[in-house]
Amino acid sequence: MTDLSAGSPSVAEIRDDYAAQVQRKRVYGGILLILFVSLMAAGFRTADARNAGSFTDGWHRILDYPTEVLSEAWEKVALLPAHLVHFMPALIETLNIAAASTLIGAVVGTFLSLLATRGMAPWPALIPLFRRISDICRAVPEIVIALVLIFVLGGGPVPAMIAIAIHTAGALGKLFSEVNENASLKPVEGLHSVGASWAQRMYLGVIPQVGPNYVSYALLRFEINIRASAILGFVGAGGIGYELRNSMSWGQGKYDEAAAIFILLFVTIVLVDQLSGVLRNRLTHGAAK
Amino acid sequence: MSTFATNLPIEALKSEADKLFVRKRIMNFGLPLLVLLYLAYVFFAFDVAGLYEKASWKNGKTLVADSYSYKTHVTRDNRNGEVSVAIEGERKGEYPEGTSPDWVEMGQTTVIDLENGHVVTFGLKSIEYDVPGYGLIRTTPDRRKGVQAELPAGDVPDWINVSKNRLAVTTDAGRLTVTRNRSEVFRYFNGWELFWFTLDSPYYGKGPGELMGLAFAGEAGAIWTEFWTNKMWRHQDVAWAIFETILMAFLGTLGAGIVALPLAFIAARNFNPLGSVRFGVRRVFDFVRGVDALIWTVVLSRAFGPGPLTGALAILVTDTGTFGKIFSEALENVDKKQIEGVQSTGANAPQRYRFGVIPQITPVLISQLLYFLESNTRSATIIGAITGGGIGLLLTQAIITQKDWEEVAYYIVLIILMVMFMDWFSGWLRRKLISGDVKTPRKRKVDSKAKPFVLP
């Protein structure tokens, strides 16, 4: 910065200073850009070298598999409606996993967030503990818990549900506690003054304030959890992902089934995406719009 | 919200208020009830009760016990009488010829001290296990006659499993199994054995102080190599796997950002007047987002085979859709005045974009990229488990063997630390980059705008 108090510098001086500053900024920007590009390039080359097939050999084959699947599905297009009906129960299971885990996660996340928000926590000393708990729950990828639980509980929807619920509880716990921090504490104090218990204070004083935001975040989570439960099915936790892996490992001859599952999964994800988008918009911006 | 008409008689007001209360009560109790009903339905749909029976608690117990303890096998080949000692019974953990832990006395007869009075003796012909408070268990394994177990008189307790061909004794001190060809003793210890150095390493069994001394004496490189190439825990491979996972997330997220930015300009109403093109690009975004990372992973791994590149590309494709949507929404919200201001100085189109638009969307851009970098680290773990790359692959491999639970525990700890580190790092970078050029009040606004898209 030029020191203005020390006599007025000439216009030329200011211009030189400014030019030097711009120059410096450009150099920094350029260095950052070069660094970034070289990082990307080096990273790409490393990934390419450690991959089974290289990018240059494979990129023209990207469409081979979809074409194969689609052409076979097209030949047997008459069977498609039957397949769609056949895989409906698996899809419903996937949706159930997502919905149940979202609900359980939201309930647990609510408690975690209330216990971790200053002013609402019944044991303020334990706030950091509950924060760390939700951090750890959030950091565990679902697949880790799911795989371990599959070993103990056997394959099926329950391991997936528990795994997703744990992650959801952590993720929502963090988001909810951010919402809680913006909530007014006056109703809580009012309820306290008339002798309400902690549960009553939270249920009557806090939840009505934060409810719409909670629901909006939970809906977003539901969207994510559908994808997650499809993926977990792929590693043996039931639902449509499991069917997808089965029909894929059969290979040719079952591609019509794979195509039917692709369609079901795609349509479901897009539908839930749109629906929850509309609902969330309404919750955050109000119905009248 | 219903409003009360003030000119109503008191009775009508009361009844209206009552009605409102009833409605509220239904909402307050009905909603939780509905959730409860749904969960009850799920309980039966998933057959949770049946699962309780089906679950293998034994598996769970070994899993938990194995994740923090290890066992040392003392094995005698009954055909030739050779005795070997190996940690976890693996070749990699075998004690070199002629050495043994101090609780195993090798010689003509091998005496294994399991502590608390439990002693197993591998004799020339027979195997004896002295269980305090029970008596001496003796077997004389023979190719033809079986294990020939001799137990103390009385009923066989349930911790001894005996048949013609097999004897298994499980006590708190350890476990002995004898078959025709093999006798084996397990002794359990807490901890992750051989985590630092394997038995064949010269540094095995040295304390941290001693190692520090050796390191200062010029052996630091050798110590590091011994640790780095530990055959049991494969620290080098694990480090590479973690690096691969982070690399997948990095390439995928930033690649998606680079691809999505120009497309977002095409999809934004105020930058592209052609409605049909806009519509097309938006549907492409919706499509790649809707197909989902799982299917992209499957399709791409057919073309590129397993590995980090496939994972990175799967993340790249999926997130291009998400970023395209977010960026185009951010672009539609930019302030026109800045662009006009730049235009008034005679700037051409690229200059207008560079100085009028980009600075406005940079905070949204960066904060979204960093949010996704963190969440994609987790996705990369999952995608790695499907395609076979990174720490996800190591984890699934370790789980499939169903015995290396200490390695599973190690990987889980590493994954959690990795994700937490990325969380912290992206948060730190975000604060650094955004508060660097934007003052605090603006930052709050950016945050609230960014939040609805957070994929935590």
pLDDT per residue as tens digits for the range B18-56: 998 888 888 778 888 888 888 888 888 877 777 777 777
Res. B70: pLDDT tops 70: yes
Q: Who among A152, A161, A235 is closest to B385 (CB)? A: A235
Instruction: Closest CB to A161: pick one of B46, B54, B392.
Output: B46
* B316 and B372 assigned to the same domain: yes
Q: Torsion over CA of A108, A113, A119 and A120, rounded to 10 degrees?
A: -20
**Helix, strand, coil share (%) of chain B residues, nearest 5:** 60, 15, 25
pLDDT tens by residue, A125-173:
888 898 888 888 888 888 888 888 888 887 778 888 899 999 999 989 9
Q: What is the Cα–Cα distance from B417 to B448, expressed in whole angstroms?
A: 28
**Any idea what the CATH number is for the domain that residue B239 is in?**
1.10.3720.10
Tell whether A124 lies on the interface with B, counting CB pairs under 8 A: no
C-beta atoms of A50 and B289 within 8 A: no
Task: Name the residue type at position B166.
Answer: R
**What is the residue-averaged pLDDT of chain A?**
84
Most B-contacting residue of A38, A39, A51 (CB-CB within 10 A), to test interface: A51
Instruction: Say if residue B245 is in the same domain as residue B337.
Output: yes
* B305 vs A44, A52, A135: nearest CB: A52
Q: Does B219 fall in a domain? A: no
Q: Where in the sequence is the domain holding B46, given as residue range(s)? A: 8-55
Sequence letter at residue A70 = L
Assess whether B259 and B183 both reside in one domain: no
Nearest-angstrom CA–CA distance, B366 and B373: 10
Token duo for residue B314: 């799967």
Is the per-residue pLDDT at B446 higher than 50? Answer: no
Is pLDDT larger for residue B244 or for residue B79? B244
pLDDT for res B442: 40
DSSP state of B195: S
Higher pLDDT, B379 or B59: B379
Q: What is the pLDDT of residue B60?
A: 76
pLDDT at position A4, please?
53
Same domain (yes/no): B280, B415: yes
Interface of A with B in 83-102 (CB under 8 A): 93, 96, 99-100
Residues in A touching B389 (Cβ below 8 Å): 50-51
Angle at alpha carbon of residue A33, lines to A28 and A36, rounded to 5°: 125
Residue of A93, A120, A103 lying closest to A232 (CA atoms)? A93
In which band, very low, low, confident or very high, does the pLDDT at B427 lie, cut at 50, 70 and 90?
Answer: confident
A141 touches chain B (CB under 8 A): yes
Inter-chain touch B299–A248, beta carbons under 8 Å = no
pLDDT in tens, A179-230: 888 888 888 888 889 988 888 888 888 888 888 888 888 888 888 898 888 8
Under 8 Å between Cβ of B286 and B331? no
AA letter at B115: E
Flag if B51 and A136 touch (Cβ within 8 Å).
no
Residue A5: what pLDDT?
54
On whether both B45 and B98 belong to a single domain, the answer is no
Kindly tell me if the per-residue pLDDT of B210 is higher than 60. yes
For the cut 50, the answer to whether the pLDDT of residue B79 exceeds it is yes
* Count of domains for chain B: 3
Res. A108 pLDDT band, cuts 50 70 90 = very high
Query: Is residue B337 included in any domain, yes or no?
Result: yes
Packing angle of the helix pair B390-401, B235-267 (nearest 10 deg): 130
Pairwise CA distance, residues B390 & B300, whole Å? 16
3-state secondary structure chain A: CCCCCCCCCCHHHHHHHHHHHHHHHHHHHHHHHHHHHHHHHHHHHHHHHHCCCCHHHHHHHCCHHHHHHHHHHHHCHHHHHHHHHHCHHHHHHHHHHHHHHHHHHHHHHHHHHHHCCCCCCCCHHHHHHHHHHHHHHHHCCHHHHHHHHHHHHCCCHHHHHHHHHHHHHHHHHHHHHHHHHHCCCHHHHHHHHCCCCHHHHHHHHHHHHHHHHHHHHHHHHHHHHHHHHHHHHHHHHCCHHHHHHHHHHHCCCCHHHHHHHHHHHHHHHHHHHHHHHHHHHHHHHCCCC
Contact between chains at A231 and B254 (C-beta distance less than 8 A): no
Are B161 and B32 in the same domain?
Answer: no
CA dihedral A9, A13, A15, A19 (to 10 degrees): -130
Q: Which of B41, B63, B309 to mutate to test the interface with A (most CBs of A within 10 A)?
A: B309
Per-residue model confidence as pLDDT tens digits over B381-402? 888 888 878 888 888 888 887 7
Task: Write the burial class of residue A77 (CB in 10 Å: 0-12 exposed, 13-18 middle, 19+ buried).
Answer: exposed
pLDDT of residue A165: 92
pLDDT at position B2: 52
Q: Read off the pLDDT band of A68 (50, 70, 90).
A: confident
Q: Do B370 and B415 fall into the same domain?
A: yes
The pLDDT score that the predictor gives to residue B4 is: 52
Average pLDDT in chain B: 79
Alpha carbons B386 and B224: distance in angstroms, whole number: 33
The CATH class that applies to domain A74-285 reads mainly alpha
Partner-chain contact A152 B378, CB within 8 Å: no
Amino acid (one-letter) located at A28: Y
Give pLDDT, residue B443: 37
Condensed to tens digits (0 to 9), the pLDDT of residues B267-292 reads 888 777 788 888 888 888 888 888 88
DSSP 3-state of B51: helix
CB contact under 8 A, B381 and A140: no
Judged against a pLDDT cut of 50, whether residue B246 lies above it is answered with yes
Query: Do B307 and A161 make contact, defined as CB atoms within 8 angstroms?
Result: no
Residues B173 and B257 in one domain: no
> Is A53 in Cβ contact with B305 (below 8 Å)?
yes
pLDDT digits (tens, 9 = 90+) for B330-378: 888 888 888 888 888 888 888 888 888 888 888 888 888 888 888 889 8
* Alpha-carbon span A281 to A284, nearest angstrom: 5
Q: Would you state the pLDDT for residue A109? A: 92
pLDDT band at B445 (very low <50, low <70, confident <90, very high): very low
The count of C-alpha atoms lying within 13 angstroms of the C-alpha of B340, restricted to the half-sphere facing its C-beta, is: 4
Instruction: Please say if the pLDDT value at position A2 is more than 60.
Output: no
DSSP B196: S
Identify the band that residue A106 occupies on the pLDDT scale cut at 50, 70 and 90. Answer: very high
Q: Look at residue B452 in the predicted model and tell me its pLDDT.
A: 43
Query: Alpha carbon of B194 to those of B88, B89, B138, B354, B441: distances in Å?
Result: 10, 13, 33, 57, 54
- Find chain B residues with C-beta within 8 A of A248's C-beta: 298
What part of A 150-189 touches B (C-beta under 8 Å)? Answer: 151-154, 156-158, 161, 171, 174-175, 178
pLDDT of residue B448: 40
Q: Which of B292, B312, B378 sits opposite A47 (nearest CB)?
A: B312
Q: Do A269 and B292 touch (CB under 8 A)?
A: yes
Minimal C-alpha gap between B290 and chain A (Å): 5
**pLDDT: is B454 or A44 the higher one?**
A44
Are residues A188 and A205 in contact, defined by beta-carbon separation less than 8 angstroms? yes
Q: Which amino acid is at A216?
A: S
Contacts of A141 in chain B (CB under 8 A): 378, 381-382, 392, 415, 419
* B220 located within any domain: no
Domain range summary for chain A, segments of one domain joined by +: 1-61, 74-285
Of A62, A175, A265, the CB nearest to B292: A265
Q: Looking at the domain assignment, is residue B22 inside a domain?
A: yes
Count A/B contacts: CB-CB distance under 8 Å.
Answer: 189
Select from A33, A50, A68, A88 the residue whose CB has the most chain B CBs within 10 Å, as the one to mutate to test that interface: A50
Q: Which residues of B touch A174 (CB under 8 A)?
A: 456
| One domain, residues B414 and B363 | yes
User: Can you give the pLDDT at residue A104?
Assistant: 92
